[in-house]
Structure 1
Amino acid sequence: MGTSAESDAFVAFERVQKSYDGETLVVKDLNLAMPKGEFLTMLGPSGSGKTTCLMMLAGFETATHGEIKLDGKPINNIPPHKRGIGMVFQNYALFPHMTVAENLSFPLEVRGMAKSEREQKVKRALEMVQMGAFGGRRPAQLSGGQQQRIALARALVFEAELVLMDEPLGALDKQLREHMQFEIKRIADDLGITVVYVTHDQTEALTMSDRVAVFDDGRIQQLAPPDELYEAPQNSFVAQFIGENNTLEGVIEEIGGNRCTVKLDSGDVIDAMPVNVSQKGERTRVSIRPERVEFNPELGPDAHTLTAEVREFIYMGDVFRTRLSVAGHDEFIVKTRNRADQKRLSPGETIQIGWLPEDCRALDAS
């Protein structure tokens, strides 16, 4: 990543590493630059290093190596409460014995702010999250969604320009969670704040973010806008982790330009886009998204067709999900829109399926 990007960055990690025992690195040589006003999500499985990165930025963990900068200034040695960063956790961390207004006022009081100014800031923060009428209630009198809004208001109360959120919606039910995703994004956009958001929920990451950093094994595997991450994964891990994905394994037979020919382990030969492969004879895993596959295709001379056997045909409302046996794989999924002309398929039926070579990506075999 160029220095020009880093010098303009509001948040920057420069060659950051973290080890708890002096041997194993949980974060490995991390470089990341974020502009002001960006909503960036750190996404990855448990133990991938995403929460550790958030905690180092907050100041609750120290980097073993490298530098973290906020608005151009190194913050490695600045204690958490002096970084001016707002935090929102999954468990809300609200004081049960205080009213909502007292919960919001407390961090301002600690900073020695005058009472009239505190009241003004609390009122404004509650209005931002549409909770203006709830200042006199205690946390126990609020629903989960309301408590989460108050936790967000508390992060916004001292007008922090950077807000960190660690799995903030994990405790909410699906419907409320989806509603809050849009709500948080709207508030962040309206206020122009910079957000670093940690989740292991890929749908949440795709819905909310300007960019997503996909973590695995202490490294960022890919950093890109949501659509690019989904449509153009750079390696097998990202392809498997983001959204549903079909993979077929084989060997590169020919490669040149933006095409390669793959001989699948089943003996079938297909064309694909070479993404993370470079030479003939190399093992590869090709990736095709379920919605890019067509039944009895009429995709033109370029397309591939393979014979498939229907295993399961599931009605899901807006889509049909068909599980097929293809090229020796029994878990090949095709998603088709629920249209009036969609013929229902029966288990055991044999059909032709196909896709365009540019929708099929030849990735690393690991």
Structure 2
Amino acid sequence: MTQTDTSRSAGASAPDSPHVEFKDVRKTYDGETLVVKNLNLQIRRGEFLTLLGPSGSGKTTSLMMLAGFEVPTSGDIRLAGRSIAGLPPHKRDIGMVFQNYALFPHMTVAENLAFPLSVRKMPKAEIEDRVGKALRMVHLEKFDARRPAELSGGQQQRVALARALVFDPQLVLMDEPLGALDKQLREHMQLEIKHIHESLGVTVVYVTHDQTEALTMSDRIAVFNHGVIQQIDVPDRLYQQPCNSFVANFIGENNRLKGVVRDVAGGKCRVDLTNGETVLATAVAVGQAGETTTLSVRPERIVLDAAGVGRDNRLNARVLERIYLGDHLRLRLAVADSDDFMVKVPFADDAQVFQAGHAVSVCWAAEDCRALDPV
């Protein structure tokens, strides 16, 4: 396999221009409800971008419009610098990987891989060479004569991936490709796809509702909700610096506390909780004093009791549940108005003190607590 030749098309985009661009794209099926609302999105050449969101958020519809299986109600989609409006799927030079594999059951593995090459009328010798390289890439060179029914789910997914890449497409789209696999195999395939992407440098647009999968594989993640991108960023910044309550709750585990803004100054705010305690937080999406807000703090940013000396915030809490997970404990606490406040504690000899019913102090820095829109 070789990286796509970026100069093979007269319409190829300049190196610094977006490889894929959605411009004011809207989609409605009934003429009233917009499934995708004014989508503006630029995807860089060679990027692994994941569209992440719950069911009905617009992520899959956006992917299907890019693939050509759905038509935008308005707006434009550009690939390699030119509009692909009206261009049928088979002329877009795009590879597709589906959750259900979509392999031809009557063909062998080699024949499945050869199919997209033969329809492009490539010479037989080149087809054989490309099929061989693709099979070696996914470690299935010994399975070329088998049919899909003779393969495991993971092997079938490897064949589907190889078929999407065998003709060196300028773009690969993946729609929940690992959803049918068990947890261990899914995690293995996540890394395998990531490594293949890194070695080939092909542009990938990946759709999933699994936030762990998105964090593991992506260069950037676009979080969708109600047809709108809520935030697009690199995985660590998306997790550590969510811009609103939806993103904070959808990406990773999150503790929420409700309160009223007392004051805002210097990028920080003081928030009065329902039980009368006060929290100092980073002001992200808050209004004026007197307005409500939701505080967001990750479980791993919280320390307990004496370990919290010097932290900006110290609140009273009570242990409701202690969950042993080998190298660490998960404690469910009652804090202010929340009975589902989670803390991760490294397991040590003194961890035995954290039993249900015990009173503790929860502590964290203002930088680790984000004041967001109320929910």
Q: TM range, normalised to the smaller chain?
A: over 0.9
Give the deviation of 1:299 after TM superposition.
3.8
Give the deviation of 1:344 after TM superposition.
4.0
CA offsets 1:150-208 (integer angstroms, 9 cap, x no match): 00000011111211000000011111110000000000110011100000000000000
**Match for residue 328 of structure 1 among 307, 330, 337:** 337
**Match for residue 42 of structure 1 among 51, 55, 60:** 51
Give the deviation of 1:9 after TM superposition.
0.3
Kept after mapping to 2: 8 A contact 1:297/1:353: no
SS, match of residue 47 in structure 1: coil
Give 2:186's aligned residue: 177
Q: Which one is further off, 261-270 or 333-342? A: 333-342
Letter in 1 for 2:54: P
1: distance between equivalents of 2:241 and 2:74?
Answer: 32
**Does 2:363 correspond to 1:361?**
no
**Match for residue 215 of structure 1 among 211, 215, 224:** 224
Give 1:231's aligned residue: 240
Kept after mapping to 1: 8 A contact 2:244/2:372: yes
1: distance between equivalents of 2:176 and 2:189?
Answer: 12
Kept after mapping to 2: 8 A contact 1:299/1:356: no
Kept after mapping to 2: 8 A contact 1:236/1:285: yes
1:10-89 map, 5 Å = 10-89=19-98
Kept after mapping to 2: 8 A contact 1:6/1:12: no
Over 3 Å counting, the alpha-carbon distance change for 1:217 and 1:6 in structure 2 is farther
2: distance between equivalents of 1:12 and 1:65?
Answer: 14
Kept after mapping to 1: 8 A contact 2:308/2:362: no
Give 1:159's aligned residue: 168
**Match for residue 202 of structure 1 among 198, 211, 230:** 211
CA offsets 1:255-303 (integer angstroms, 9 cap, x no match): 0121100011222111111001131111100001011111104444452
SS, match of residue 36 in structure 1: coil
**Does 2:82 correspond to 1:92?**
no
CA offsets 1:110-164 (integer angstroms, 9 cap, x no match): 2222222221211121111121121111111111111000000000111112110
TM-score where L is the length of structure 2: 0.94
**Match for residue 120 of structure 1 among 129, 142, 159:** 129
Give 2:327's aligned residue: 318
Give the deviation of 1:346 after TM superposition.
1.4
Gaps of 5+ in 1: none
TM-score where L is the length of structure 1: 0.96
2: distance between equivalents of 1:60 and 1:76?
Answer: 11
**Match for residue 278 of structure 1 among 287, 309, 323:** 287
2: distance between equivalents of 1:297 and 1:284?
Answer: 29
2: distance between equivalents of 1:55 and 1:7?
Answer: 25
Kept after mapping to 2: 8 A contact 1:6/1:33: no
Letter in 1 for 2:153: G
Letter in 1 for 2:230: Q
Gaps of 5+ in 2: 1-13
Kept after mapping to 2: 8 A contact 1:42/1:198: yes
Identity %: 61
Letter in 1 for 2:58: G
2: distance between equivalents of 1:120 and 1:198?
Answer: 31
**Does 2:252 correspond to 1:243?**
yes
Give the deviation of 1:340 after TM superposition.
4.4
SS, match of residue 178 in structure 1: helix
Kept after mapping to 2: 8 A contact 1:236/1:365: yes
Give 2:9's aligned residue: none
SS, match of residue 31 in structure 1: strand
**Match for residue 138 of structure 1 among 144, 147, 153:** 147
Give the deviation of 1:343 after TM superposition.
3.5
SS, match of residue 365 in structure 1: coil
SS, match of residue 140 in structure 1: helix
SS, match of residue 159 in structure 1: coil
CA offsets 1:52-109 (integer angstroms, 9 cap, x no match): 0000000000111111111111111111000000000000011111100111111222
1:333-352 map, 5 Å = 333-352=342-361
